[in-house]
């Protein structure tokens, strides 16, 4: 269920919103093969009516299931927007859509969360990546070495 605010409820006082949104409502699903959102997004927001805008302040948090881009290990990474602030205009070119005095905050929350996703998730900053295998172990018995028949070996035979 999307996060919808009624403008009439904001005329006298600000509105406190607390709860969780499933990832399907925010469409945070399959954006990247390395990052998955499987847990609900926790929100704690205060919505206040300004002259021609809404001011939303609070926090958003979710746990991301990531896959390290270097070693391909799966790990969880918390995504916390503790000082979340959104100024949402109600008039002008970038105005929010108002439907029967209701404004859906979901698209803006989704966009701000996607901007905070890691571009290249790493399990730890100094991740060494995949373990390298020894070429001798990878080579099958009876196969010729490609390095012995390289172009450099042939050039070394030339007498100029």
pLDDT at 41: 92
Measured between alpha carbons, how far is 143 from 117 in angstroms, rounded to an integer? Answer: 46
Give, rounded to a whole angstrom, the gap between the first and last alpha carbons of the chain. Answer: 79
Measured between alpha carbons, how far is 106 from 104 in angstroms, rounded to an integer? Answer: 6
How confident is the model over 32-59, as pLDDT tens digits?
Answer: 788 888 889 999 999 999 888 999 999 9
How confident is the model over 20-37, as pLDDT tens digits?
Answer: 998 888 776 666 788 888
With residue 114 as reference, give the H or E element that holds it. helix 106-115
Paired strand residues for 49: 54
Question: Averaged over 112-136, what is the pLDDT?
Answer: 83
Higher pLDDT, 12 or 100: 100
Q: Which residue has the tokens 């609070």?
A: 58
For the chain, how big is the Rg over CA atoms in Å?
27
Comparing CA positions, the residue from 79, 53, 82 lying closest to residue 65 is: 79
- pLDDT exceeds 60 at position 136: no
pLDDT at 86: 92
pTM for the complete prediction?
0.72
Question: Averaged over 55-81, what is the pLDDT?
Answer: 92
């Amino acid at each position: 269920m999307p996060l919808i605010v009624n403008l009439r409820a904001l005329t006298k006082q600000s509105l406190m919103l607390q709860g969780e949104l499933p990832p399907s409502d925010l469409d945070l699903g399959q954006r990247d093969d390395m990052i998955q959102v499987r847990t609900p997004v926790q929100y704690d927001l205060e919505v206040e009516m300004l002259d021609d805008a809404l001011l939303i302040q609070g926090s958003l948090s979710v746990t991301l299931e990531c896959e390290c881009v270097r070693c391909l290990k799966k790990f969880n990474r918390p995504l916390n927007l503790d000082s979340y602030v959104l100024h949402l205009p109600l008039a002008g070119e970038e105005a929010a859509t108002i439907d029967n005095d209701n404004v859906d905050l979901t698209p803006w929350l989704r966009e701000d969360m996607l901007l905070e996703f890691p571009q290249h998730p790493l399990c730890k900053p100094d991740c060494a990546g995949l373990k390298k295998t020894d070429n001798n172990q990878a080579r099958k018995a009876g196969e010729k070495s490609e390095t012995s028949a390289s172009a450099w070996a042939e050039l070394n035979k030339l007498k100029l």
